[in-house]
Amino acid sequence: MTPVNLLDLDREALADWFESIGEKRFRATQLFRWIHQRGECDFAQMSDLARGLRERLSGVAEVGRLPVVSEHVSADGTVKWLFDVGAGNAVETVFIPEDDRGTLCISSQAGCAVGCRFCSTGHQGFSRNLSTGEIVFQLWHAERVLRARLGTPAGQRVVTNVVMMGMGEPLQNYSALVPALRIMLDDHGQGLSRRRLTVSTSGVVPMIDRLARDCPVALAVSLHAPDDALRDHLVPLNRKYPIAELLGACARYLPAAPRDFVTIEYCMIDGVNDTDAHARALAELLRPRIACKVNLIPFNPFPASGLKRSTSERVAAFASALQQAGLVTTVRRTRGDDIDAACGQLAGEVVDRTRAAQRLAAAREQPIALPSTRRQRAGDQEFTWR
């Protein structure tokens, strides 16, 4: 019999499972604390559980761990792990230490089906959804390893913030995501605050509405363009859920959200979406519709993209144009550059199972003529958005 992976179960599900094997429901809280608060995976060490129960558990349950393919530590303290999720797939998790917090960037899928032009994960194509246990394991492992390494006192956390900004579109793996979020939020589990747990989405509108009902956490939306014509090409999901619908979902989300704003992510790509006119259009789009903060992410290049990062002068000018138009704007500092741990670079060693990279490359080589107003310059190579 395959053992039950205890990382798959939120506390309610764990209590149900205990009941189903004839044990008391409250045992779930005890076991949950051992696993998620103390990072314990050896039942023999769980001293306040009866010996009989510990022995029973070791036959039928386990803390499901993923093999670590590699761990890299950057000069700036950023740590990147690559975990093996089987069948030639791997996912990445990145820890970013700052003075006042420690942020863990977690993956939700092996690959991604959305296929954004500027994202290395999108170029790899989609392999599969991660299970709840595989999502939770990334936090469980990072907290456990870092705490031991740093000698962090009991009761304190190393990872204080979690962002679902690794590989994959979390809202396209909703049924595994929500129990994982609940485990991260549970006071007897990882105990994160809702304000410090962020789901980032490319805009799966119906699931934003469901998240507001099921498990509202901080929301970040990857916009990247001020109009549908450009966003259709950068984020193909826009053809299904265009900008007006997406911003409508953000406005509906806010009353349930733990923060009174939505973070708008905007990847700065040279000559594609980074002019002052784009900044003005973005401000005109957002200001009347939604309480938000804009986070500019300088594009992290990878060879297959054919795109370039906006210059730092352009990023600064864009940020100041947004600020003058009344939008609170920050620029994301790139971390872990020396270990390829930056946003959108998280797919280095993952197998391309769907040939998406070739399809995207072919699409770039065969531009379809469009009116010149929709021609964009990307670096020194001109191409036309389809």
Site for ligand SAH, rule CB under 6 A = 118-120, 165, 169, 200-202, 222, 265, 267, 297, 299-300, 343-344
Q: Does 114 help bind ligand SF4 (rule: CB under 6 A)?
A: yes
Active site residue 245: no
Binding partner at 115 among ligand SAH, ligand SF4, none, C-beta below 5 to 8 Å by kind: ligand SF4
Please identify, among the stretches 115-123, 130-138, 140-148, 179-187, the one whose residues bind ligand SF4 according to the rule CB under 6 A: 115-123
Q: Which of 19, 92, 105, 382 is catalytic?
A: 92
Minimum CB distance to ligand SF4 smaller for 120 or for 190? 120
Active site residue 343: yes
Q: Which of 122, 179, 189, 336 binds ligand SF4 (CB under 6 A)?
A: 122
> Which residue of this chain has its Cβ atom nearest to ligand SF4 in the complex?
122
For ligand SF4, the closer CB: 112 or 192: 112
Which residues 11-50 are close enough to bind ligand SF4 by CB under 6 A? none
Out of 53, 116, 159, 294, point to the residue binding ligand SF4 (CB under 6 A).
Answer: 116
Considering the rule CB under 6 A, would residue 203 count as an interface residue with ligand SF4?
A: no
Identify which of residues 27 and 278 has a Cβ nearer to ligand SAH in the complex.
278
Q: What is the 3-state secondary structure (H, E, C) of the chain?
A: CCCEEHHHCCHHHHHHHHHHCCCCCCHHHHHHHHHHHCCCCCHHHCCCCCHHHHHHHHHHEECCCCCEEEEEECCCCCEEEEEEEECCEEEEEEEEECCCCEEEECCCEEECCCCCCCCHHHHHCEEEECCHHHHHHHHHHHHHHHHHHHCCCCCCCCCCEEEECCCCCHHHCHHHHHHHHHHHHCCCCCCCCHHHEEEEECCCHHHHHHHHHHCCCEEEEECCCCCHHHHHHHCHHHHCCCHHHHHHHHHHHHHHCCCCCEEEEEEEECCCCCCHHHHHHHHHHHCCCCCEEEEEEECCCCHHHCCCECCHHHHHHHHHHHHHCCCEEEECCCCCHHHCCCCCCCCCCCCCCCCHHHHHHHHHHCCCCCCHHHEEEECCEEEECC
Shortest distance, position 344 Cβ to ligand SAH, whole Å: 2
Q: Which stretch binds ligand SF4 (CB under 6 A): 22-30, 89-97, 110-118, 330-338?
A: 110-118
Active-site residue, from 105, 116, 215, 343? 343
CB of 206 to ligand SAH, least distance (A): 16
Tell me which of ligand SF4, ligand SAH, none is bound by residue 265, counting a contact when its beta carbon lies within the kind-specific cut-off of 5 to 8 angstroms.
Answer: ligand SAH
**Given the rule CB under 6 A, which residues bind ligand SF4?**
112, 114-116, 119, 121-122, 168-169, 202, 222
State the catalytic residues.
92, 343
